[in-house]
Amino acid sequence: MKRVVLALGLIGIINCCAMRTFAADGWASVSDTSGTAYNLTGGAAGATVTPTTAAQFYTYATSSTPYVIQVSGTINVSAYSNHRINVKSNKTIVGIGTSPTIYGGLNISGVSNIIISRLNINFDANEGSEDPSTDGITIQSGAHHIWINHCSIYNSPDGLIDIGGASDYVTISWCKFYYETGIYNTAHHFTNLIGSDDGDTGDRGKLHITFHHNWWSSLCVERMPRVRFGQVHIYNNYYSCSSNDYCIRPGVEAQLLVENNYFYIVDEPIDDKDTDAMVESSGNYTYHCTNVHSDVGTDDVFTPPYSYGLISAVYVRTIVMAGAGADGTEPTPPAVPTGLTAEANETFVVLDWNDNTESNLKGYNVYRFTDADSNYTRLTIYPITTSTYTDSSVAYGTTYYYAVTSLNTYYSESDYSSEVTAIPRIYGDFEINHTVDMNDVGYLNDLWLIDDCDETVDVDINGDCLVNFLEFEAMAENWMTQ
């Protein structure tokens, strides 16, 4: 049975003097398309250092030795070639303190096992006239297993994060992308290019990339992302870049899985695709958007080989605005509801569960499904504030499976509760034909006093795993009822 976990979970870094365990997700967490785990550790095997000058930062970042490099304050690398530092394998670069910043760019070329988190990466608003091709972060030349998490990247003269050159297994999560007014090269506010040219056929079978919980904000114009060749998973992101050209563009041989994103007053959430591109789109929310192409998104694309959490698109805006960027704080989900029960009669099912005790509780969502091979469907349009729910949209004799979740005022949602089942029908109608009669007696007699839950699940109306006189009494009460 398929399940999509709803909880957000805390990403493994906090912006202070201490650090928690890293936990990469998305494509960066696997080593192949079958889902074999990859232990992305960054520089955890080495010493933790805190450079105070660009020269010290350069020494640590370009060393073949693993390091956890803490950035405090601003490190200005614009004096180096192409305004950037070439980062070697097995590095963690993490911001600490107030406004940790890399002024310039980072080049990740032909290396692996790198984590970049809690950083501001930027150029001055008018920087770049001498070298307008500089990215905030460039990933190229077969680099693989890179995790960029909780960064604010802005004002780079070229891309903010660009990935190409047969690079692979990259996750970009909880980042904020934007430009400031007056930046040089204003015609090129293009944020994320995946695959740089239609002729780069070496990218085939590469460019497995995940974007989740990112925020494309002011003055982003295009490439959010623009993809060639890759298998790119884009979920739970927020787009508020009004006056843009387009957001997502599916280019040559791209496969895009676009799920539960929030597009807020933007043009072309998903652009027209190349003829050999494929897009599967579901659960996305568009608010006052223009040129929404309803014919894009009906393809069957890859299935991610990793587990991931989907939240409903209507909640994405609030959660991502609070959590994305170098200083973002991801809301902690509330506790999972407990004590869920389901009672059915002929025409409806009544659910009841224990009250949650969080002071910032927003309410509850109720979920249901009928097909063991499908995901839950949310029944509540908005969170309900009481710990009971009546489902009247039921069919007689159908088995329904229910779970509930809780939400806080940030619309952060818990995991599913324990699952319960219910079958709307007259008590004692084992044939499910709207009539309690001799056929039901015969059906029940075959299982008289059998206490095997699997065998008696369809006739054990009171759910005690024992077919006994209670069921006969029920039929007597409803004899010939229809």
| Catalytic site residue from 3, 84, 118, 223 | 223
Nearest CA-CA partner of 304 in 188, 208, 425: 208
Helix (H, G, I), strand (E, B) or coil at 470: helix
What residues pair up with 102 in beta bridges, in sequence order?
75, 121
CA quadruple 247, 249, 255, 257: dihedral, nearest 10:
20
84 belongs to the catalytic site: no
CB contact at 8 A, 84 and 104: yes
Contacts of 345 (CB under 8 A, 6+ apart): 424, 426, 427
CA-to-CA distance for 447 and 184, rounded, in angstroms? 80
Task: Supply angle C-alpha 82, 83, 86, rounded to 5.
Answer: 80
CA-to-CA distance for 375 and 237, rounded, in angstroms? 21
What residues pair up with 91 in beta bridges, in sequence order?
67, 114
CA-to-CA distance for 460 and 56, rounded, in angstroms? 72
CA-to-CA dists, residue 8 to 5, 11, 307, 381, angstroms:
8, 9, 12, 20
Q: In the numeric block, which tokens belong to residue 449?
A: 């006093």
Determine phi and psi for 186, rounding to 5 degrees: -65, -20
Catalytically active residues are 223
